[in-house]
Chains A and B, each alone.
Chain A
């Protein structure tokens, strides 16, 4: 009985951490989405700029809930609420943010140790950015037909993506992920946990530390993100085949048009009928 109670308490606290991270990170990403990106010289201030929020919370609380909360918050607040949901691309973002934050949260054993916090923050950010870069390059390769044939395009994609990675990591990563974490985590430690009704994280609590299982799960998530892209190529050949088949007969296309017109006509008549019935 007592173990069950403990379990349920931990579950609701996980929900609290989820809600907390979701609202804070969602709000922050909403602002970055709304305020046009501004560039100072070669330094671009981008979304990664608020990653310190989930990183901080993942270091203080349960890393998995914080990571999932951050990814969901970004998805709901800045993508769905603003109508910018991008389908396949969002899955990749969701997974990379979750993995990056989760790794950083697992790495920290003692939140009061500033060196450890800083290192974990930069490693988590680097992991997230590196995965994003790889997937971005793949995405452009698959979307543009005859990628290799267009002069100058492959080099330019590698160069821009590589440059964006270094830029984000060195400027946004250090300025907006590492420094705020180093400032916030020790300051919040011991103050924010009682508000959620839990004990501060200690060196021997179960959530910290990286083991092979964690790494395996992270790699699996990254593979999922890439598989989403590989599915794109598989689908590419499928639709191409269909297009060829359609080319052989214009009649098929004409048939589709006629079917659509008939469907619309039937539906309009049925709607009129039902309205008349409703009126009687």
Chain B
């Protein structure tokens, strides 16, 4: 039995290695270009998100919320989102409202608290899934183009493109610095409880210290980046309307986009119908 639990914890720990995290994030960013959702126009998807990200907050009818939830669930499946992201979503939604429910019981609430909390959970879940669909289903470049079309600051679309390109490198560098600190360090024994606490403090200290070389390295890198951007006239191009128009010329709305909107509208209409019937 002990061996089994040892094996289980080892398995979970090995799953959460740095490489696993990196792969999941990369897969999420670039791994699903060929899905139905990724082929849609980013502007249409953002407008769609605006509806499903805002309206559920203001509506309290259960059938409507259920209908919206089912729709965004289907779109999430279509977008083929990476497993880790879905796991984080489930953890986030249920730990938050579950915790609130437990504390409510502690303060003398009863089963009547379940209904509002269930509605709250449904709202949060719908909104999160809509955002998972749009922001993880879309290619980063298409996403930043879509945001730019809506007049978001150029700084934001630059940040998105930069983040997706630089992230693998940054993660690798962080890992290397951390490993070199570990190689040189001498961790305290962690068999007893005291040792475990000291081991934890040691780990946290190492992470803090590894930010010292990391900050210096990243400073050098960001200077190189900005100098390269300046050479190409980035700051002037960012505010120039002609450049913007050229950049956004590739966006095109097709029948598929309208079809997607119409099907979503049908779902919403059906759930509104249910609201009026019951």
- The interface of chain A, by Cβ under 8 A from chain B, is 11-12, 15-20, 22-24, 26-27, 30-31, 33-36, 40, 52-53, 56-57, 72-73, 76-77, 79-88, 140, 143-146, 150-153, 155-157, 159-160, 175-176, 179-180, 183-184, 187-188, 191-192, 195-197, 232, 235-236, 238-240, 243, 246-247, 249-250, 252-254, 256-257, 259-261, 263-264, 267-268, 270-271, 274
Which residues of B71-98 are within 8 A (CB) of A?
81, 84-85, 88-89, 91-92
Contact in complex: B89, A84 (CB < 8 Å)? yes
Q: Which residue of A lies closest to B256 (CB)?
A: A271
In the assembly, what is the distance between CA of A259 and CA of B21, in Å?
Answer: 45
Q: Are A144 and B208 in contact (CB under 8 A)?
A: no
Q: Does B181 contact A (CB under 8 A)?
A: no
Within the complex, the shortest CB–CB distance from A151 to chain B, in Å, comes to 5
B155 within 8 A of partner (CB): yes
Taking CB atoms and an 8 Å cut-off, the chain B residues in 100-126 that contact chain A are 100, 103-110, 112-113, 116-117, 119-120, 123
Q: Are B119 and A274 in contact (CB-based, < 8 A)?
A: no
A112–B160 CA distance with the chains assembled, in angstroms: 35
Give the chain A neighbours of B263 by CB distance below 8 A.
260, 264
Q: State the interface size on chain B (CB cutoff 8 A).
A: 97
8 closest Cβ pairs, A-B complex: A152-B109, A83-B136, A260-B266, A256-B269, A83-B132, A152-B107, A253-B273, A271-B255
User: Measured between alpha carbons, how far is A235 from B137 in the docked complex, in Å?
Assistant: 29
| CA–CA, A278 and B131, complex, Å | 34
Query: Shortest CB–CB separation between residue B212 and chain A, in angstroms?
Result: 6
B107 touches A73 (CB 8 A): no
The distance in angstroms between the C-alpha atoms of A270 and B256, with both chains bound, is 11
Q: Which residues of B contact A (CB under 8 A)?
A: 16, 21, 24-25, 28-29, 53-55, 57-61, 81, 84-85, 88-89, 91-92, 99-100, 103-110, 112-113, 116-117, 119-120, 123, 127-128, 131-137, 140, 143, 155-156, 159-160, 162-164, 166-167, 170-171, 174, 200, 204, 208, 211-212, 214-216, 218-223, 225-227, 229-230, 235, 255-256, 258-259, 262-263, 265-266, 268-270, 272-273, 275-277
A23 touches B170 (CB 8 A): yes
Q: Is the CB of B223 within 8 A of A196?
A: yes
- Complex contacts, B174 vs chain A, CB 8 Å: 27
Task: Tell me, rounded to whole Å, the shortest Cβ–Cβ distance linking A193 to chain B.
Answer: 9
Residues A35 and B16 in contact, CB atoms below 8 Å apart: yes
Select B135's contact among A80, A176, A271, beta carbons within 8 Å.
A80
Tell me which residues across on chain A come within 8 A of B266, comparing CB atoms. 257, 260-261, 264
Give every chain B residue within 8 A of A80 (Cβ-Cβ).
135, 143, 160
B212 touching A87, Cβ below 8 Å: no
| Known A-B contacts A260-B266, A271-B256; A150 and B128 likewise in contact (beta carbons under 8 Å) | no
In Å, the complex CA distance between A30 and B168 comes to: 12
By a CB distance below 8 angstroms, the chain B residues around A188 are 212, 215-216
C-alpha spacing A17/B223, complex, angstroms: 9
Q: Which residues of the other chain, A, contact B212 by a CB distance below 8 angstroms?
A: 184, 187-188
Please judge, given known A-B contacts A16-B222, A22-B159, A81-B167, whether A150 and B109 are in contact too, CB under 8 Å: yes
In this complex, the member of A80, A143, A153 whose beta carbon has the largest number of chain B beta carbons within 10 angstroms is A80
Given contacts A152-B104, A180-B208, A260-B265, is CB(A76)–CB(B218) below 8 Å? no
Taking the closest CB of chain A, its distance from the CB of B90, in whole angstroms, is: 12
State the Cβ distance, B98 to closest chain A Cβ, in Å: 12
Whole-angstrom distance from the CB of B69 to the nearest CB of chain A? 16
Contacts of B29 in A (CB 8 A): 81
Could you tell me the distance in whole angstroms from the C-beta of A55 to the nearest C-beta in chain B? 12
Which residue in B103, B131, B134, B215 is a CB contact (below 8 Å) of A184? B215
Select one of A11, A34, A267 contacting B21, CB under 8 A.
Answer: A34
Which chain A residue has the least Cβ–Cβ distance from B117?
A144
**Chain B hits for A86, CB < 8 A:** 53, 127-128, 131
**Contact assessment for A34 and B84 in the assembled complex, using a CB-CB cutoff below 8 Å:** yes
